[in-house]
Amino acid sequence: MYLTGIFSNKQITLKAGWVMMLPLIMLMAPNAIAHERQYVWNQEYQTLPQGMFEIESITTTKVPDFKKTNANKWEYKEEVEYGLTDRITLAHYEHWETVNRSGTDKDTTKYSGFNFEGKYRIGEAGRYWVDPLLYFEISRDPREERIPLTLEGKIIFSKNFGKLNIVYNQIVESETGQKGKTEHEFTFGCDYAISDSFRMGYESKGQYWNPEDNRNELAMGPTVSYSHQYFWVTVGTLFGINHAADDWQTRLIVGIPIG
């Protein structure tokens, strides 16, 4: 199995700018406390403290077929979050997309839209049998003229058992417009704290209902996270369990709290 063709100068150049900016951003937040994400495919039971900002850089790679690794997709998202209150976090992010195909070397990176999201954390951890959080997102892709907006709602259930965390996301995504479709999806994850800085776990995601195909995707794989006083990094990989899912997906998230 060869993964040639997945990495190119376009991706390296784009991410190099963020790497060069990291020291400057870290100096802006000398007293920041990490607000790390333990998962990359799941939303979690957490919100930013009131008045805190956080910058996140998210890179996702998708390879539909391992036999054709030159055909792949890269998604880039740059996000700014703000803690409106200790229980409400608002965020905005812009995203771009690169589609690579075998036999072509032209730059296919295109702007793919924006998102606004809001999270509301219900109660404090341990108050209920499970810890619930509500998530709402509105997005727009200028390339999809027939779909004015896409709305997404999630309800997150999380539970801690000492150093072990278990989380489940129930997801509904609906496209507006006359030809809009609605999908019902889920994500699930569990992870364990190896130390104060390192966590290792497992994630899966799939669909309960896909209106475009009778086959619902299912994928699963490992996730690892590292947290520092000034930043955190989380990376996860998914492997397709059935033919409806991409053969391989990976996601890297780097977060820097400010405030």
Domain boundaries in the chain?
9-246
pLDDT the model gives residue 83: 96
More confident residue, 46 or 9: 46
Mean pLDDT of 141-148: 81
* pLDDT over 80 at 70, yes or no: no
Please say whether the beta carbons of 32 and 232 come within 8 A.
Answer: no
φ, ψ for residue 68, nearest 5 deg: -135, 65
- The H-or-E segment that residue 16 falls in is helix 9-28
The one-letter code for the residue type at 42 is N
pLDDT the model gives residue 155: 98
Confidence band of 4 (pLDDT split at 50, 70, 90): very low
Please say whether the beta carbons of 41 and 251 come within 8 A.
Answer: yes
Left if phi > 0, otherwise alpha if psi is -120 to 50, otherwise beta: which for 247? Answer: alpha
pLDDT the model gives residue 27: 45
Confidence band of 143 (pLDDT split at 50, 70, 90): confident
Long-range contacts of 146-149 (CB under 8 A, 24+ apart): 146/177, 146/179, 147/175, 147/176, 147/177, 147/179, 147/180, 148/176, 148/177, 149/175, 149/176
CB atoms closer than 10 angstroms to residue 167: 25
Tell if the pTM clears 0.95, that is, is over it.
no
What is the rounded average pLDDT for all residues in the chain?
85
Q: What would the DSSP string read from start to end of 96-161?
A: EEEEE-TT--S---EEEEEEEEEEEE-S-TTSSSSEEEEEEEEEE-TT-TT-S-EEEEEEEEEEEE
Mean pLDDT of 168-189: 91
Q: What is the DSSP letter of 235?
A: E
- Percentage of the chain with pLDDT > 90? 61
The class that CATH gives domain 9-246 is mainly beta
pLDDT the model gives residue 12: 41
Please say whether the beta carbons of 48 and 89 come within 8 A.
Answer: yes
pLDDT the model gives residue 36: 85
Q: Kindly report which listed range (33-37, 128-132, 230-234) carries the lowest average pLDDT score.
A: 33-37
pLDDT the model gives residue 8: 47
Residue burial 29-64, b: 16+ Cβ < 10 Å; e: rest: beebebbbbbbbbbbbbbbbeeebbbbbbbbbbbbb
The two three-digit tokens of residue 88, written as one number: 């409400």
Alpha-carbon separation of residue 239 from 65, 97, 187, 223 (angstroms): 11, 21, 14, 12
